[in-house]
Amino acid sequence: MNLNLLNNISNHEGNKRLIQKYELIKYLFSMGPSPVSALCDMMNMSTPSILKLIGSLTDEGWIEKKGYGVSMGGRKPDLYRLKDKKILIVCIDIELFHTKIAIMDNNYNFIFGPRTIALPISKSRADFFHILNTHLQEILESQNISTNELIGCSVGMPGLIDAVRGENYSYFLNDVENISLTAAFENMLKLPVVIQNDVNGSTMAESTHGMAKGKKNALILLMDWGVGLGIIMDGKLRPGACGFSGELGHIPFVENGDLCYCGKHGCLETIASGNALSEMAKKGILSGKNSMLNKLSNEELERIEPAVIIAAANKGDQYAIQLLSNIGTHMGKGIAMLIQLFNPELIILSGKIAEAKQYITLPMQQAINTYCMTQIREKTTIVSSELGENSRLMGYATTGIGQFLENHIKQAKTSRLKQMA
């Protein structure tokens, strides 16, 4: 673990005090600007003790006052938060056809980027790692940031990901060198690394910054090149026993349908994903469909971005509108199943396909009306994400910084126990 980052936190009062400082930093990161009363409750400490911790971390340049809280009468309480740029993390968003790199701080400011590079996800590690590391080292050098100033790196990607074992069972399967994917990233970057599924990044972003904040039961549907589902139940992200929950895209929906890359036929992803949309558009254009998409070059037609089809629909292209409508209908049937299984209060649509808005939401709602029980569907609100295209990076930062801070706390507690033994 890279402990250099927190070395300027004084521990002259002993390891117990140092652990309390780490815990306070973690709570302020997760909660945002907070009054003393909330911090007392979270840390189970008295007001004088919390104020002493705050004063110490303020003197050391970690904490500042930031506005006032709500009062039921009388003086409004001061709010305290972490200062900007106290914790820096590298966030990497790996997609099917390109990769984004950003450096973010503890208050979700983009210190750098995001930069998009033409680096597709791969079965092989060696070539991918070489290109990624070349770009990252250039970025760190250009920003005059050393690895000692970073708490770690948070990486998100599609596929079956076991975050505990640090493995992706869909990608990066070749030249494994008998070490986990997380360990391979760490060897390359010389930083602690956490990996996660991309939909969990979207879900974490929505639950901390988006419309799922404060919701107890919500679903986040990531409609990108693939289809993924993030599940919030009882106010917590539910990854499942191995982190594989939410694989909605690989449930068969069509009898004797097209072969999915997972090995099954007729999966939802074959009829209601960015890949499916691109493939259907290409086949239609090559068969002579009348559309402004005919103007695309052969190279552009080979992998049509969903944004291109959505742009055509916004200009009134009937073929593009019909393509998106078909996607919405198929997705609506899948959502009807989800509503009856989970009874969520909120479903958030995110990803590239969600940008189509009414072109998919209207046929989607019609399908939900057809396939879902009225009493259940009326309790569910369906909305489109408002966080923008870089929301997953925010989710990766939340997961990464939170986990790395927890690791710092565990190490400090272990060190204290050894001293006491």
Domain 88-201+391-404 has CATH 3.30.390.30: no
CATH code matching the domain that covers 4-83, chosen among 1.10.10.10, 3.40.50.1220, 1.10.8.80, 3.40.50.880 = 1.10.10.10
pTM for this structure? 0.89
Higher-confidence position of 177 and 22 = 22
Higher-confidence position of 16 and 213 = 213
Stretch 109-126: mean pLDDT: 92
Instruction: Give the Cα separation of 421 and 266 in Å (integer).
Output: 60
For the chain, the C-alpha Rg in angstroms (whole number) is 24
Share of the chain above pLDDT 90, in %: 65
The answer to whether residues 269 and 226 touch, using CB atoms and an 8 Å cutoff, is: yes
Residue 350: which residues within 8 A CB-CB, separation 6 or more?
A: 202, 206, 220, 221, 222, 223, 384, 385, 387, 391
- In this chain, the answer to whether the domains covering 4-83 and 88-201+391-404 adopt an identical fold is no
Q: Please check the confidence at residue 3 and state whether its pLDDT lies above 60.
A: no
b/e sequence 248-286, b meaning 16+ C-beta within 10 Å: bbbeebeeeeeebebeeebbbbbbbbbbbbbbbbbebbe
User: Domain spans of the chain?
Assistant: 4-83, 88-201+391-404, 211-384
pLDDT confidence of residue 7? 52
20-76 pLDDT, tens digit each: 999 999 999 999 999 999 999 999 999 999 999 999 999 999 999 988 877 766 788
Helices 36-43, 15-31: crossing angle, 10 deg rounding: 120
pLDDT confidence of residue 2? 40
CATH code matching the domain that covers 211-384, chosen among 3.40.50.2300, 3.30.420.40, 3.20.20.140, 1.10.3470.10 = 3.30.420.40
Stretch 251-271: mean pLDDT: 89
In 3D space, the residue among 87, 113, 86 whose CA is nearest the CA of residue 102 turns out to be: 113
Band of residue 167 on the pLDDT scale cut at 50, 70, 90: very high
Band of residue 13 on the pLDDT scale cut at 50, 70, 90: low
pLDDT confidence of residue 126? 87
Band of residue 313 on the pLDDT scale cut at 50, 70, 90: very high
Instruction: Give the Cα separation of 418 and 302 in Å (integer).
Output: 61
206-233 pLDDT, tens digit each: 999 999 999 999 999 999 888 999 999 9
